[in-house]
Chain A
Amino acid sequence: MGAHLADVHIAAMGFEKIIPRAEHLGVYLRLLARSATGQPITTFSSHFHRPRPDQEMHIVIVDNGRSRQLGRPDFRNSLKCIRCAACMNTCPVYRRSGGHSYHSAVAGPIGSILAPNLDMKQNADLPFASTLCGSCSNVCPVKIDIHDQLYKWRQVLMQEGYGPTAKTMSMKAMATVLESPRLYRMAGKVGRGVLRFAPVTVENRFNPWYNQREMPEPPTESFRDWYVNNKKA
């Protein structure tokens, strides 16, 4: 209604929203509302061709990183998005955390694959905030491979060096331990010993794993120790 009363009507749109022919709207209008609120079509589907008499009408066509996304073969499919929000309504993460937790204009699974294209550093956390369950790709009416792209963005962001330092360091430490059987056995022994004899070193507020849960009871021996012992007997 606002557009019909105001003296100036300005519409802004991304260039990826341009479709070849008017009759292709038959496809999109059937998809949009049923994937959003479950209505068979939006209540008003307005077609503007020129301003009404004595009114001004402007259409601003925006790039804002879209042409860059077009040049990324793994991610260009995300430009098919019609902003229906089906991926958000189905997402187990979005349903519990809500839109504001995404610190990005477009929230939800689709936002998490669009935002890193705009600013990798600022949005590096978003593709990791997903269980990769694939529900988003499953419901997407324009068949965007959302969860595959979330996974691919993780590779890109880590390779470009946007992983948090603590994570990068602990992953490196983990790699060193896991690739040496001797170190791995020693780490297991130390872990079991610490839990048994000095639980206070892990049962404190500096250990995020301890914040909402009890630490496990340490086993007396590892599976390997058990196997070696029982094989002899």
Chain B
Amino acid sequence: MTTREKILASIQANQPSLLPLPEQFTFTTTYPDLTKQFSDSLAFVGGLAVVVPDYTAIEAHLKEHYPALTNVATTCPALAHLADVTLDVTDPHDLAGLNLTIIEGPLAVAENAAIWVDERQLPHRVVPMITQYLVIIIRQSTIVANMHEAYKKLQVNATGFGTFISGPSKTADIEQSLVIGAHGARSLVVYILP
């Protein structure tokens, strides 16, 4: 008997009587203004949301917010001229020098400022964690109210990897004191396009 068979047999033997799967486990959340709620949630988790009319406004704000930054990369064609390094590398370790990375997010959640990104947005899975500063561009129309709505819209296994990112990297595991910039990006700016 392999360990797998042993474990399965033991679970089978100790299994309690089965219950029907609860079909109703979601609820709807209503916010008067999804964009404002998203921005407030992002501020609460240490990030900054900026509502902008177009890419020109993003560029202007970026230049003001991160002046004279080098080692900038982006997956966004409209901002390609801001990049001075490429994400097209074979070994993801080569991205260790990234300062600022600008990516796009296809879905955002207002209640907790989580933004979904998967391999369609990420040339390498490590990109949003290895960069010092992260910028994500989202569209107003893609903001949903809560996580239940997000999962309704998502197909989580569309690619091999996807993640919700909520704010800059942080931890409060040690003595419950919050440190921003722990195992990932030290700051997160989200631009919200119409």
A interface residues (Cβ-Cβ under 8 A, vs B): 1, 4-5, 15, 20, 22-27, 29-30, 37-52, 61, 63, 67-68, 70-71, 73, 76, 89
Contact = CB atoms under 8 A, between A and B. Distances in A.
A46 B163 contact: yes
Contact of A27 (B25, B45, B118, B125): B25
Contacts of A70: 11, 14-16
Given A63-B10, A73-B16, A44 B129 contact: yes
Contacts of B130: 1, 4-5
19 contacts: A4-B126, A4-B129, A23-B152, A26-B148, A30-B146, A38-B172, A39-B166, A41-B164, A42-B166, A43-B167, A45-B163, A45-B166, A46-B161, A50-B161, A63-B10, A67-B14, A68-B14, A70-B16, A71-B14
B41 interface: yes
A71 B157 contact: no
Interface residue tally on B, bucketed by range:
35 or more
Given A5-B93, A71-B14, A73-B16, A23 B45 contact: no
Interface string B106-142: 0001011110001000001110011000000000000
Contacts of A89: 176
B80 interface: no
A228 B169 CA distance: 74
B148 A40 contact: no
A71 B160 CA distance: 36
Contact of B163 (A15, A47, A51): A47
A114 B146 CA distance: 33
A23 B24 CA distance: 12
